[in-house]
Structures are given as structure tokens and as C-alpha cells.
Amino acid sequence: MLPDFQRDRIDVVLVSPRNPLNIGAVARAMANFGYSHLTVVAPYAPHWREARSAVGAPDLLQNAKATECLAEAVAACTFVAGTGTLTYRKPEQPVVSLPDLGPIVAQHLDRGGRIALVFGPEKHGLTRDDLSFCNVLIEIPTDPHQPSMNLGQAVAVCLYELARMIPPRVDQTPSIVSEYGSIPRSPIQAGNINSPAPSGALDLLAGLIESTMTAAGYSPRAMQSANRHDLRVLLRRLAPSALDTRRMLGFFRRIVSRLNR
């Protein structure tokens, strides 16, 4: 198993799940592997926290975070992995087979990042718009005659791969001594110039670039939705650091200010 301080930086995100029993099964699978951060985005059923399938994990379900949109759910995450099959989609993101996920997650955890594993609705999975918030698409190898998996089983398989592929690590980052004792200090907290930008910062930059395009008369109204999608995908593909993202925000703020004047 990963040490607690690293498991604490991994979120499981469910987008518009339809069946409360599946949400409960996800909570149970998370408890099996020692994960506690569950976010449910725009669920269909209003009483999903009461799912009886969360055997051994009722507190996890009660403490789960609820958000209206995926952007809010992953705003603090520096690496977002969507899940699904390639049967009905042509993703614009790099595709990573599930057995290769462990080392990638380990690399981001070593950099002090926060990880989100995102799962789509039972009926059709993540949409193209959902995937625009993801850095990669994780493909779970399945038989082509039955490519889809039950939501709870898909989460369990992914978390098992993390447990199997990533060896336990000892935190060697500097600590902050406070009135609460010694607190591990991640590379991001320490101001590492290579720290990846969180998803929310990339969305802020994308919105500012879109505002600049509008102020310059570059983006007609009919193309704004497509441009917004393309900007989200492009920024996650480029993966700018947190420092570079702040610099670009400064550049575009000055440009849009001049254009508006």
C-alpha cells in the first residue's frame, strides 16, 4: 500500500453516477485500499449518501464531497486521469493502459502533486467535454465483446493497480515545524519551480485567453464553445508549471486590459 500521506493526495471522482448502489460500491472499494477522498459530481439520485452497498464505509460516503461540475471537483489536482474504453471514442489525450498507471502516478506524487481518478456515468462513460479536463485517458484492458465494466469494479481494479504497482515510499521532503507538530512539506509547498499547475489554474488561464481572443475580435460567438474546449485540451497537453502559468496569466491580463482600453 501507499503510505497514508500519499493516499491522502489521491481523489476518486464520479461524474453523474445514476445508481446509488454503485456509489456505495465505490466507497467500499476505496475503503478496501485505504482511500478516503470521494467526490460525486451532479449525481442523478438525491439520496445517494444512504446507499446500503457501502459496507464498512458509511463514514466515507457521508463525508464525500458533492460538486455541480467536474471543473470544481478537480480544481486542486495537478494530474487528472479519466477512465474509459476506446470502443466508442477517439480521445484527444494520451492513452495509458491501466497496468502502466502506477509509475505515472508515482512520478506525480513524488513532485508533490494531487491526483484525481475520474469515472463517468454508468450508461455512456465520460463525454468529450469531461475528458477535456483530463491529462490522460486510462484504458482498462477488457474483452472487446464486453468493454464496459461496473462502476464499483472499475474503481476497485484501478485502486488495486496503484497498490500493486507503486512500492511504499518514505517521505524525504522537508518538514514544517508548527504548533501542531512536524508537517510534511511537499515540493509544491516549498515553491519548486517545476511544480505542475493545478487544474483550476489552467482553467483560469484558458478563460483569460478566451477573453483576450474575444477582446481582439478573433473568436466569433459560434466558435467560442469549440475554442474553450480546445484551450482546455491544449493547456493540459502542454502541462505548464505553476510558475509559468502565473507568468502567462500576467501576460494575458495586460494584453486584455490594453485591448479593452
177 within some domain: no
Q: Residue 188 falls within a domain, yes or no? A: no
Pair 24, 150 in one domain = yes
Which stretches does DSSP call E strand in 89-217?
95-97, 115-119, 136-139, 175-178, 181-184
205 or 181, which is more confident? 205
Q: Per DSSP, what are the bridge partners of residue 204?
A: none
Residue 223 has pLDDT above 50, yes or no: yes
Domain stops at, among 140, 165, 190: 165
| pLDDT band at 119; cut points 50, 70, 90 | very high
Tell me how many domains the chain contains.
2
> Rounded to whole angstroms, how far apart are CA atoms 2 and 225?
40
Q: What is the pLDDT of residue 193?
A: 60
- For residues 129 and 56, state if they share a domain: yes
CATH of the domain at 24: 3.40.1280.10
Q: What's the mean pLDDT in 125-129? A: 93
pLDDT bracket for residue 182 (50, 70, 90) = very low
Domain annotation covers residue 45: yes
Instruction: Give yes or no: residues 21 and 135 share one domain.
Output: yes
Domain assignment of residue 118, yes or no: yes
**Higher-scoring residue by pLDDT: 180, 132:** 132
Instruction: For residue range 30-42, list pLDDT tens digits in order.
Output: 999 999 999 999 9
- Is 23 within a domain? yes
Q: Which domain holds residue 144?
A: 4-165
Same domain, 73 and 117: yes
pLDDT tens, position by position, 38-75: 999 999 988 899 888 888 899 999 999 999 999 999 99
Same domain for 36 and 127? yes
At residue 176 the predicted structure's pLDDT band, cuts being 50, 70 and 90, is very low
Residues 6+ away with beta carbon under 8 Å from 50: 20
Asked if the model's pLDDT at residue 200 lies above 80, the reply is: yes
Q: Average pLDDT, stretch 135-152?
A: 89
Answer yes or no: are the C-beta atoms of 78 and 109 closer than 8 Å: no
Residue 175's pLDDT band, with cuts at 50, 70 and 90, is very low
